[in-house]
A = this chain, B = another copy of it.
């Protein structure tokens, strides 16, 4: 009875989360523009219902009643995760949660208008409100380490104490690697991939590749949105992409990226995915799966060897006359640029480290919001050797802070590190990944990932999962080794 009550209660919470994802997907993909206000109210009603459900005394009772009766390891893991979330949520006054939702919603709208104009004067007072409420929330936990309380929302059990030395080392090494691997002329380097490919052909290529990597179309679909994303879980997982007429890589790599997220969701444990420890492990582990398919597979030489001529054919020969090697080099162009989401594998993590270091200081109170714009530019120049010409290309480029997300960025880099570490582990146990690609065995690779990562959900915390999957603790060295091995060959 107590067992049944536990699973039925958390199953219902899960069901509402699924509904929120469908609503979000719909809003970004098909909703008519007039619908946004009504949609915001639907979100608000459902969010309120979920928050009440999660923090109600009843939820506490349900958890503690089942705790004494847990029989299986999964039972215990679900209880652990349910408690963790319940006890954390109870620490945060509801009024702060509502305040964050409110200021974030307003600040996001302000950001959308202000960003293209680099209008920091309008934006900063709103950002200040977001930061104020985040600072308050961050102090609801361990007051000595406020940033950890935020980080834990996205990467449970990971702390600044773990990240600091790792990111410090990564930063120092990357600064050197960038100077070594960056191309002389960006335009020149990208020339082989600046070809016109029709939307219809890009769509065909996307569907072909999703099938290749093992995305199950009976349990998912692909659509178009301004910003690509993945939504849903298990039997209804939807990815989106976007089409740029003269730049196939935009859709090609976003499809592989979102495909990686989607395959993770489609391969969670069937019996447990609806319950607290059955969902995906963390944002970092999620990102490791997307980066695995986007970069480690998609930007590998083996991938170009296997698929370039097929891609050319599906593009109605848009790449006729381009040598395979030039294509491969072009999609691996290293060059410091201002925009994180357009960054290559070598420069990408420096973008994250910049944000991580700033965020920690902002939350601690060592950096005032008014000082962010210039400080960002200063730090950017220090890391990349170039200075953003506008605030649009500087601190205003990402939506995250406006949306109340601090502690989120580090998970992107963790994803890259995890992915390289998983690559190394698989290769130690089997053969080089390029063999999987070249021999048309991406299905086998998916099975390995399912066994090592997907099926565990958050049964283990992310660092334990990585330890278990790779035989080693989380480390930045595999990622650095991966970069060196790959890009030395490209010099």
Interface of A with B (CB < 8 Å)? 11-12, 15-16, 18-19, 22-23, 26, 30-35, 37-39, 41-42, 44-46, 48-49, 216-221, 223, 232, 234-236, 238
Contacts and interface: CB of A to CB of B under 8 A. Distances in A.
Contacts of A12: 45, 48
Nearest to A25: B26
A236 B30 contact: no
Contacts of A218: 32-34
Contacts of A42: 15-16, 18-19, 22
Given A30-B221, A32-B221, 16 more contacts: A15-B41, A15-B44, A15-B45, A16-B45, A16-B46, A18-B42, A22-B23, A26-B26, A30-B30, A32-B218, A32-B235, A32-B236, A33-B218, A34-B236, A35-B219, A38-B235
Contacts of A23: 19, 22
A33 B235 CA distance: 9
A287 to B, nearest CB: 24
Given A15-B45, A22-B26, A45-B15, A38 B221 contact: no
B22 A235 contact: no
A371 B11 CA distance: 43
Contacts of A221: 30, 32
A35 B234 CA distance: 9
7 contacts: A15-B45, A15-B46, A18-B42, A30-B223, A32-B217, A34-B218, A34-B219
B38 A18 contact: yes
A272 to B, nearest CB: 14
A33 B39 CA distance: 25
Given A38-B234, A38-B235, A236-B38, A46 B32 contact: no
Nearest to A8: B45
Closest 10 CB pairs of A and B: A35-B236, A34-B219, A15-B45, A34-B235, A15-B42, A34-B218, A12-B45, A19-B42, A35-B235, A32-B221
A235 B221 CA distance: 26
Contacts of A234: 38
A218 B220 CA distance: 28
A44 B30 CA distance: 24
Q: Which of A32, A37, A41 has the largest count of B CB atoms less than 10 A from its CB?
A: A32
A61 to B, nearest CB: 18
A484 to B, nearest CB: 42
A407 B18 CA distance: 34
B39 A236 contact: yes
A19 B19 contact: yes
